[in-house]
């Protein structure tokens, strides 16, 4: 496949993973990324079952396991910091501690996959696609900073607000499905002095100590039944919105929000899904959140991106670079798996609403017990463990 040129938009997880496998299969690969370097921050993400098999094939599994979050457990507290629930069996973000899954920081996993791609993959940082026009033989691509180039295949692996999807498939509003809440994540000093531990305060969010307790990752957010109109590239406006919504939240969150303003890795977005009838159009195909975002409520975004990258690369190899055959096989292989994962998020969103109604007649201690005991993520693991990778 040395004469097949592939452009991938997005250098998070799915894009570099796809680049790794395509390069090994003999394709010529270029990755374009709007940011000037790999993006820092993000959530602690879970890599499970078949997704771990994908990671193993890239040769970085040992390092991924070494960099796992290594949390010992979690607590739930009230506004004064009084502990209402404690467990060393699971955490709110990672599920059961005693299992083969790996919870790792998003930016650590991104860096490892990026480094694994090696010198055979071209990266264009601080650049973005401005247009894609297709004919029977090629996809003509223009960029903000680089000279126009032609590619045989273009892949949008550029997230929930995919630029490739907008250029080729149409406005985001056609495909996005809001799930009723927003989430912000950022890094702060470990000022509560947590020791490999995670603390949840309702309604503030989660704080967890990471990187051998050298830092704190803060999760906070709010409910919003209808989507909020905001600029997803204006970080200052997003921080103001979070500060306004969380102004009266207790425990240590007022202190955490002080660090939010200067956090270099602040990320904010809606809990939303992308639902599409087809993930490809001509020579353009979507991968991961760009085509089938499950939202953080699914707990499976990373696993879907990794497995999707492996399958897409494998089907392109099997089809000898024939994009029509490969894209059809890619979708046939993954559609059911994706739909099951997206259904988890919808069920979780419904359960959250039902739980809030049930909590109305419960004490804080009873609420904490209910939340803590249901943070084991078994439904997430059941779906991904049911999927087996094809050999390519």
144 located within any domain = yes
Instruction: Please say whether the beta carbons of 300 and 344 come within 8 A.
Output: yes
pLDDT by residue (tens digit) across 290-328? 999 998 888 889 999 999 999 999 999 999 999 999 999
Alpha-carbon gap, residue 205 to 220, rounded angstroms: 5
Q: pLDDT value at position 387?
A: 84
Tally the C-alpha atoms within 13 A of residue 158's C-alpha that lie toward its C-beta.
25
The residue-averaged pLDDT of 275-287 equals 98
Percent of the chain with pLDDT over 70: 92
By residue range, what is the domain housing residue 105? 5-385
Helix (H, G, I), strand (E, B) or coil at 139: strand
The first and second tokens of residue 323, run together, are 């994009």
pLDDT of residue 359: 64
Mean pLDDT of 246-257: 92
- CA atoms 304, 164, 319, 329: torsion sign: positive
Q: Are 88 and 113 contacting, i.e. CB atoms less than 8 angstroms apart?
A: no
10 Å CB burial of residue 140 (0-12, 13-18, 19+) is middle
Alpha helices for 118-154 (secondary structure H): none
Asked if residue 69 belongs to a domain, the reply is yes
pLDDT above 70 for 257: yes
**pLDDT, tens digit, for every residue of 23-75?**
999 999 999 999 999 999 999 999 988 999 999 999 999 999 999 999 999 99
Q: What pLDDT score was predicted for residue 94? A: 86
Q: How far apart are CA 392 and CA 8, in angstroms?
A: 21
For 81-117, the pLDDT digits (tens) are: 999 999 999 898 888 888 888 999 999 999 999 999 9
> Is the pLDDT confidence value at 379 over 70?
no
Q: How much is the pLDDT for 364?
A: 78
Mean pLDDT of the 148-160 span: 98
Q: Do the domain assignments include residue 390?
A: no
Tell me the C-alpha distance between 366 and 347, whole Å. Answer: 22
* Summary mean pLDDT of the chain: 92
Q: What is the pLDDT of residue 354?
A: 57
Cα torsion 251, 253, 256, 261 to 10°: value is -160
- Listing DSSP states for 36-91 in one string gives SSPPP---EEEE-THHHHHHHHTT-HHHHHHTB----EEEEE-TT--EEEEESSEE
- Specify which residues 186 forms β-bridges with: 218
Main-chain phi, psi angles of 298, to 5 degrees: -80, -25
Does a structural domain hold residue 20? Answer: yes
Question: Residue 61's domain is classified under what CATH number?
Answer: 3.50.50.60
Alpha helix locations (H) across the chain? 14-24, 50-57, 61-66, 106-117, 163-169, 235-245, 253-260, 289-292, 301-318, 323-359, 364-373, 378-385
Residue 366 has pLDDT above 80, yes or no: no
pTM, whole model, 2 decimals? 0.94
Whole-number pLDDT of residue 296: 87
- pLDDT, position 156: 98
Rg, the chain, Cα only:
21
Q: How many domains does the chain have?
A: 1
Residue 367 has pLDDT above 90, yes or no: no
What average pLDDT score do residues 158-176 get?
Answer: 97
392 part of a folded domain? no
pLDDT interval class at 266 (50, 70, 90): very high
* 193 domain-assigned: yes
Stretch 148-157: mean pLDDT: 98
Place of tokens 């599920």: 95
What confidence tens digit (pLDDT) does each residue in 346-362 have? 877 676 665 566 667 77
């Amino acid at each position: 496949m040395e004469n097949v040129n592939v452009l991938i938009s997005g250098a998070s997880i799915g894009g570099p993973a796809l680049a790794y496998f395509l390069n090994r299969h003999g394709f010529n690969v270029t990755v374009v990324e709007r940011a000037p370097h790999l993006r820092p921050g993000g959530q602690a993400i879970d890599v499970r079952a078949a997704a771990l098999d994908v990671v193993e094939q890239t040769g970085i599994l040992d390092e991924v396991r070494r960099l796992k979050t290594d949390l010992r457990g979690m607590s739930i507290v009230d506004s004064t910091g009084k502990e209402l629930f404690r467990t060393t069996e699971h955490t709110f973000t990672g599920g059961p501690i005693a299992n083969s899954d790996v919870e790792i920081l998003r930016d650590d996993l991104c860096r490892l996959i990026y480094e694994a791609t090696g010198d055979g993959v071209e990266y264009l940082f601080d650049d973005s696609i401005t247009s894609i026009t297709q004919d029977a033989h090629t996809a003509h691509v223009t960029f903000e900073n680089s000279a126009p180039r032609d590619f045989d295949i273009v892949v949008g692996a550029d997230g929930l607000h995919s630029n490739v999807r907008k250029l080729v498939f149409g406005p985001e509003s056609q495909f996005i499905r809001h799930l009723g809440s927003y989430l912000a994540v950022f890094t702060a000093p470990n000022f509560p002095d947590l020791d490999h531990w995670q603390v949840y305060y309702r309604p503030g969010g989660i704080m967890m100590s990471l990187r051998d307790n050298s830092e704190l990752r803060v999760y906070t957010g709010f409910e919003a039944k209808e989507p909020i109109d905001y600029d997803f590239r204006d970080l200052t406006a997003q921080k103001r919105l979070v500060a306004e919504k969380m102004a009266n939240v207790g425990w240590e969150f007022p202190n955490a929000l002080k660090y939010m303003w200067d956090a270099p890795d602040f990320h904010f977005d809606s809990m939303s899904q992308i639902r599409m009838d087809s993930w490809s159009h001509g020579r353009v195909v979507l991968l991961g959140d760009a085509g089938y975002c499950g939202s953080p409520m699914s707990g499976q975004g990373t696993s879907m991106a990794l497995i999707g990258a492996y399958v897409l690369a494998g089907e392109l190899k099997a089809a000898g670079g024939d994009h029509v055959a490969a894209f059809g096989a890619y979708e046939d292989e993954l559609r059911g798996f994706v739909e099951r994962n997206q259904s988890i998020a919808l069920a979780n969103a419904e359960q959250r609403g039902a739980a809030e109604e049930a909590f109305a007649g419960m004490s804080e201690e009873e609420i904490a017990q209910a939340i803590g005991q249901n943070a084991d993520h078994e439904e997430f693991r059941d779906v991904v463990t049911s999927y087996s990778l094809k050999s390519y």
